[in-house]
């Protein structure tokens, strides 16, 4: 008896489990924060844009990074993520990245300069970095494209069911020789056409396919503080996520 109860409990738990598809808001005002798919497309596009930057000329140089952007989402959103990715890219390119914040005090000690000590999270340098790297986000964010498609096989079946029920009901009503049979024909017609309508309501033959597009463009300008030559490197990235209700997972990432 106990085993049967455990089995029934397990079956009930399995039946109660449902998979929630991840969706995206059609309008920005519907969410105070970005949903995971919105974050994903912007992050993937940022990764691509940073990877396209060429920092080979900074190999062996000390670099201080300054990140700015056009209408950033917040100081800790896109720009913060970009800062971390650029630092990693510089490190892979052989540059020496100075940890922020940087207080440059030529020829002075921390106490004499009146600046915070190392224990307070500041770095005092006797020499400026070899390069200032100005990293600018020209544009970055997520766009939404909504496209209505037509599931022709499903639409044909739904129209066929409604038309068949209506025609059959009219013929049966016309050929019936009693009020009972005519009433039965009316009820059958209403049931068949109503069933087709419910089917249409639950499974629309005109599904919406929402494509979420993340785009980021970065312009990095390297400015020498001592000797050296200024140069500019650019990178752009784009990623897409297709949100389709017909897909079991609800969405797919398009590289």
Cβ-defined contacts of 125-128 (< 8 Å, 24+): 125/98, 128/104, 128/225, 128/226
Q: What is the mean pLDDT of residues 144-165?
A: 85
CA 37/CA 21 separation, integer angstroms: 11
- Residue 65, pLDDT > 60, answer yes
Burial letters for 96-131: b for 16+ Cβ neighbours within 10 Å, e otherwise? Answer: ebbeeebebeeeeebeeeebeeeeeeebbeeebbbb
- Residue 20, pLDDT > 70, answer no
Tens digit of each residue's pLDDT (9 = 90 or more) over 221-240: 898 988 888 899 999 999 98
Q: What is the pLDDT of residue 116?
A: 42
- Residue 117, pLDDT > 50, answer no
R_g of the chain, CA atoms, integer Å:
32
User: Which element (helix H / strand E) includes 170?
Assistant: helix 152-175
- Residue 68, pLDDT > 90, answer no
Tokens 């037509």 — which residue?
A: 150
Coil vs helix vs strand at 106: coil
Tens digit of each residue's pLDDT (9 = 90 or more) over 70-109: 665 665 667 777 888 888 889 888 888 876 554 544 454 4
- Residue 121, pLDDT > 50, answer no
Helix 179-202 and helix 152-175: axis angle, to 10°? 170
Q: How confident is the model at residue 149 (pLDDT cuts 50, 70, 90)?
A: confident
Q: What is the pLDDT of residue 247?
A: 67
Q: What is the pLDDT of residue 244?
A: 72
Higher pLDDT, 56 or 248: 56
Domain boundaries, the chain: 25-103+132-146+215-254, 150-202
Q: What is the pLDDT of residue 185?
A: 79
> Whole-prediction pTM value?
0.60
Q: Are 26 and 210 in contact (CB under 8 A)?
A: yes
CA 30/CA 24 separation, integer angstroms: 9
Q: What is the pLDDT of residue 250?
A: 61
CA 140/CA 73 separation, integer angstroms: 9
Higher pLDDT, 190 or 77: 190
Please report the sign of the dihedral spanned by the C-alpha atoms of residue 47, residue 50, residue 54, residue 59.
negative
């Amino acid at each position: 008896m106990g085993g049967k109860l455990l089995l029934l409990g397990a079956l009930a738990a399995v039946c109660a489990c449902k998979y929630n598809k991840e969706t995206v808001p059609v309008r920005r005002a519907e969410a105070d924060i970005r949903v995971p798919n919105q974050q994903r497309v912007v992050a993937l596009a940022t990764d691509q844009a940073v990877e396209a930057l060429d920092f080979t000329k900074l190999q062996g140089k000390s670099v201080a990074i300054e990140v700015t952007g056009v209408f950033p989402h917040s100081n800790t959103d896109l720009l913060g993520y970009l800062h971390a990715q650029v630092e990693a890219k510089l490190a892979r390119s052989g540059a020496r990245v100075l940890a922020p914040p940087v207080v440059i005090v030529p020829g002075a000690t921390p106490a004499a300069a009146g600046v915070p000590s190392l224990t307070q999270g500041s770095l005092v340098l006797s020499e400026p970095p070899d390069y200032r790297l100005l990293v600018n986000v020209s544009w970055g964010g997520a766009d939404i494209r909504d496209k209505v498609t037509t599931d022709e096989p499903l639409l044909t079946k739904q129209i066929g069911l409604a038309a068949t029920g209506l025609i059959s009901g009219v013929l049966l009503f016309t050929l019936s020789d009693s009020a009972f049979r005519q009433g039965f024909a009316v009820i059958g017609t209403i049931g068949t056409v109503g069933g087709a309508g419910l089917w249409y309501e639950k499974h629309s033959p005109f599904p919406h396919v929402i494509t979420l597009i993340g785009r980021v463009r970065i312009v990095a300008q390297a400015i020498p503080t001592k000797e050296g030559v200024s140069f500019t490197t650019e990178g752009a990235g784009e990623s897409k996520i297709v949100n389709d209700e017909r897909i079991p997972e609800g969405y797919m990432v398009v590289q």
